[in-house]
Amino acid sequence: MKRTILVIGLGLIGGSLAKSIGESDENYIIGYDTNKETLEFALMNEIIHESCSTIADSAQMADIIILGTPITETIKFIKELDQIPFNKDVIVTDVSSVKKPVSNVANGITNKHIKFIGGHPMAGSHKKGIKAAKEHLFENAIYVLTPSDVCTETMINTLKTTLKATKSNFVVLEANDHDEMTGVISHFPHLIASALVHQAKKWQNTHSFIPKLAAGGFRDITRIASSNPELWQDIFYHNSGKVMHLIDDWIMEMNELKQMLEQNNKVKLSSYLNQAKDYRDGLGTTKKGVIPSFYDLYVDIRDQTGAIASVAQLLAHEKISIKNMQILEIREGITGVLRLSVPTIDDQKKSYQVLHNNGYELMLEK
């Protein structure tokens, strides 16, 4: 039987979900967005089957409602949906990066027909809007579900089945735990990335050469500072308690580091760096997390015409598909590093062998 799914907010995340679940003949997608161009684009490009200009009627037709809006808007929509006189049960889910404020509002729902299951597909991009939406955005990513108490296992399974086309890996978490963990591995690192950029900008006043020196390491660690600022201020606003706690924690960590330097404690500093390296190296063995990663290889290449094509050709010959490619620290005439991402660990091993056998120097991310 066909399921009717209303997607409210067709930006990067809502648009990507509509694209991937809309591929199944079993799903009929109705779209709503306050941005008229977005709605037209979605309809013209068959990302949705139908659009609507208000949500009341479409919500009553829906079996599932997905809120793909910014967190503050999502909270307003939950309250609005609560007022709709549904005549059948409807699963309502969201995609918000912060879960506790959303689940607090959802727990206050009085409408018996609404079955709320919080959701957070943990993959994204620095881009926003429907034009950046991709059906494969969530492939291999973690998709967190935070069901409310009124939800049964059957309802959770219905939602998982509907979202199956995303090819993500579902985990059920408690909202507060989710916010604490994403605070540590996503929200706080974002704040630090932005702070590092501010620090470099400030130092540029006295050292104008700084941007030219900003090479691989700085670019890697600050990549996320180029993400959508509106989205991130909304995330920090809704998870401010946890992020403030992490700032305090960080200040203590920095003070410990400062002390090691003041005391010239080489042994302690070396052990600190080694422990960080071991933990970071170990992260590579897990599946795709918040930061989308496949299985990476770092290949030394010369900055010359055809260098990348030669690597790509060798892998294509072995039928290995390259999911992502990035050039790190390349300067004219000097060896640069090509970061390649391949889908499986076997592809990573095979790529290593074939490139190694062809004289390339390379390293695997374990």
Ligand X SMILES: O=C(O)C(=O)Cc1ccc(O)cc1
Tokens of 326: 């990035």
Taking CB under 6 A as the criterion, the residue among 290, 320, 338, 340 binding ligand X is 290
Is residue 124 a contact point for ligand X (CB under 6 A)?
yes
Q: Which two tokens stand for residue 279?
A: 């933990």
- What is the number of other CB atoms lying within 10 angstroms of the CB of residue 124? 24
In a 3-state reduction of DSSP, which class is residue 203? Answer: helix
Please report how close the Cβ of residue 185 comes to ligand X at its closest, in angstroms.
Answer: 9
Question: Of 146 and 186, which CB lies nearer to ligand X in the complex structure?
Answer: 186
As measured in angstroms, the least distance from the Cβ of 7 to ligand X is 18
Residues at the interface with ligand NAI (CB under 6 A): 8-14, 32-35, 38, 68-71, 73-74, 95-97, 120-121, 124-125, 128-129, 228, 231, 235
Of ligand NAI, ligand X, none, which one sits near residue 34, judging by CB under 5 to 8 A according to partner kind?
A: ligand NAI
* Residue choice 142, 224, 225, 299 for contact with ligand X (CB under 6 A): 224
Distance CA(131)–CA(16), nearest Å, equals 10
Q: CB under 8 Å to 93, separation ≥6 — which residues?
A: 64, 65, 66, 67, 116, 117, 118, 119, 145, 159
Based on CB atoms, which residue is closest to ligand X, 328 or 354? Answer: 328
Residue burial 278-314, b: 16+ Cβ < 10 Å; e: rest:
eeeeeeeeeebebebbbbbbebebeeeeebbeebeeb
Binding at 290: pick from ligand X, ligand NAI, none (beta carbon under 5-8 Å per type): ligand X
Distance CA(153)–CA(123), nearest Å, equals 25
C-beta closer to ligand NAI: residue 226 or 255: 226
What DSSP element (H or E) covers 131? none
In the numeric block, which tokens belong to residue 198? Answer: 């501010």
Counting contacts by CB under 6 A, is residue 97 touching ligand X?
yes
Q: If DSSP codes are grouped into helix, strand and coil, which group holds residue 257?
A: helix
CB of 74 to ligand NAI, least distance (A): 6
The 169-208 site mask, x for binding ligand X (CB under 6 A), equals -----------------x----------------------
| Residue 291 binding result from ligand X, ligand NAI, none, given CB thresholds of 5 to 8 Å by partner type | ligand X
Question: How many other CB atoms are found less than 10 A from the CB of residue 366?
Answer: 12
Kindly tell me which residue out of 48, 52, 90, 122 binds ligand X, with binding defined by CB under 6 A. Answer: 122
Q: Within a 10 A sphere around the Cβ of 87, how many other Cβ atoms?
A: 7
Pairing of strands 362-364, 295-301: antiparallel
Indicate the residue among 121 and 183 with the shorter CB distance to ligand NAI.
Answer: 121
Q: Which stretches of the chain bind ligand X, using CB under 6 A?
A: 97, 122-125, 186, 224, 290-291
